[in-house]
Structure 1
Amino acid sequence: MGQKVNPIGLRLGINRNWESRWFPSKATLPENIGEDYKIRKFLKAKLYYAGVSQILVERTAKKLRVTVVAARPGIIIGKKGGEVENLRLEVAKLVNKDVAINIKEERKAGSSAQLAAENVAMQLERRVAFRRAMKKVIQGAQKAGTKGIKVSVAGRLGGAEMARTEWYLEGRVPLHTLRARIDYGFAEAHTTYGNIGVKVWIFKGEVLQKGIQADKSEETTSKKAKRARRGK
């Protein structure tokens, strides 16, 4: 199960929050989903070189707030914040609503799976050898202090006639462990031989909830009590 599904969707509500945060009625649900899709598609295309790792959409009764998390926020903001205002007007025109845009810096760009996938895709488009591109991203993730990383590329690698899949794994990436904080990213490299899909999984450690820790402490105390009884 953990090997097949999207690891972000599998962990929603466990150790991962939703990127669209609003509570709609049944009547407005399809419209809101469509607007979120349009906003994300537009911003990802327009701000591709800014290194966008996450786009959060929040809604209130009258306003729509979009938070863009990027590795290079200066490209988005521009001189004196003029570019942000232009971007806000474009998004507002796209969805025909009042929109507020916040820009946040991705402080740990090396540990973002989406940025790592886009990095590999950009290198493949520049005709860098796929093994070299994968190893470079893995080294960057290790320097950022991640617990493990897996990078997979699929397509006509190196211009080969038959498509194949190759991957590298460094460290540990436990996809079946729900308490594991695993970031996932996907990107496509458009080459002269066709599209190459890039997938990246990054393991950032485990999150132990209070309930789990309490259960474990109760188990250890009960085991100690049993051992004491046996000793007597």
Structure 2
Amino acid sequence: MGNKVPLFNLWGKNYLSNWFCPYSKYSGNVIEDYKIRSLLNSMDKAYRWDMSSVHITRISNNIHIEIRAARPGIIIGKSGKDLEMLKSRISSVLPIRTELKIQVNPVKKPEIDAKCLAKKIAFDISKGKQYKFLIKKYIAEAMRFGIKGIKIICSGRLGGVEIARKFALAQGSVPRHTIRADIDYSLAVAETNSGLCGIKVWVHKGARKDNTDATT
């Protein structure tokens, strides 16, 4: 079931892009959204942002981008200079008559945000740190915040070994097929000298009370 049903639908999450348009403009809007997300992920200091999610909302020619990050101050910069520079770079890949608005909101608890955790682990592994120590450390930190459970899987040529392996560690309960459960999931890729390593993170925050977005 997990391979056939989108995870956002399965766990009641909101979509990351919210807009409606005629069929003739659909492909163009999808390409623009892809360019925006690719540009944000390829920024020079993107690894320092601890960016959790990017929500894009379109109303006519207006585009509203909401960035959720653990360190919003790095994105905004001193007196908002970095944010204005980011806005100008994003405007360069959009049509001329598009009004762009960027809003940066902080992630309240990045220690239990799956996207932030996956990116942190990927960044540390790419720097050559021990993956077993990292996973145990981040799991211990997350469990202090009262979550129900967490599971982390790393796969690839971990530690520079010749044959790829998979290392998984979990604590608590992580029901991946319970629709009522509030599961936060994310995937990240670490670039090492031996090749690419994949990191998957599941965070079980308890039972959902409604269908609203339960991200922190």
| TM-score normalised by structure 2 residue count | 0.90
Match of 1:51 in 2: 50
Match of 1:84 in 2: 83
What CA RMSD, in Å, does the superposition of the two structures yield over aligned residues? 1.7
1:62: Cα distance to partner?
2.1
- Identity across matched positions, percent: 35
Q: Distance in 1 between matches of 2:164 and 2:31?
A: 34
Mark the structure with the bigger radius of gyration. 1
Q: How do 1:42-191 and structure 2 match up within 5 A?
A: 42-46=39-43, 47-96=46-95, 97-191=98-192
Q: Distance in 2 between matches of 1:161 and 1:90?
A: 41
1:18 aligns to what SS in structure 2?
coil
Q: Unmatched 5+ residue regions in structure 1?
A: 211-232
Is 1:25 equivalent to 2:22 in the alignment?
yes
1:27 aligns to what SS in structure 2?
helix
Q: What one-letter code is carried by the residue in structure 1 that aligns with 2:31?
A: G
Q: Is the 8 A contact 2:8 2:14 kept in 1?
A: no
Q: Is the 8 A contact 1:7 1:183 kept in 2?
A: no
Q: Is the 8 A contact 2:112 2:203 kept in 1?
A: yes
1:94 aligns to what SS in structure 2?
coil
Q: What one-letter code is carried by the residue in structure 1 that aligns with 2:90?
A: V
1:127: Cα distance to partner?
1.3
1:166: Cα distance to partner?
1.2
| Partner residue of 2:31 out of 31, 34, 37 | 34
1:126: Cα distance to partner?
1.7
Provide the aligned length of Structure 1 versus Structure 2. 207
Residues 91-145 of structure 1: CA deviation (Å, up to 9, x unaligned): 1111123211000001110111011011111111121111101111111211232
1:180: Cα distance to partner?
1.0
Q: Is the 8 A contact 1:189 1:195 kept in 2?
A: yes
2:23 aligns to what SS in structure 1?
coil
Q: Unmatched 5+ residue regions in structure 2?
A: 212-216
2:101 aligns to what SS in structure 1?
strand
Residues 181-216 of structure 1: CA deviation (Å, up to 9, x unaligned): 111111111111111111101111111459xxxxxx
Residues 128-174 of structure 1: CA deviation (Å, up to 9, x unaligned): 11110111111121123221111000001121111111100111111
More helix by share: 1
Q: Distance in 2 between matches of 1:138 and 1:20?
A: 30
Q: Is the 8 A contact 1:7 1:175 kept in 2?
A: no
Q: Distance in 2 between matches of 1:118 and 1:5?
A: 25
Q: For the structure 1 residues 209 and 55, does the alpha-carbon distance in structure 2 shift closer, same or farther, using more than 3 Å as the test?
A: closer
Q: What one-letter code is carried by the residue in structure 1 that aligns with 2:200?
A: K
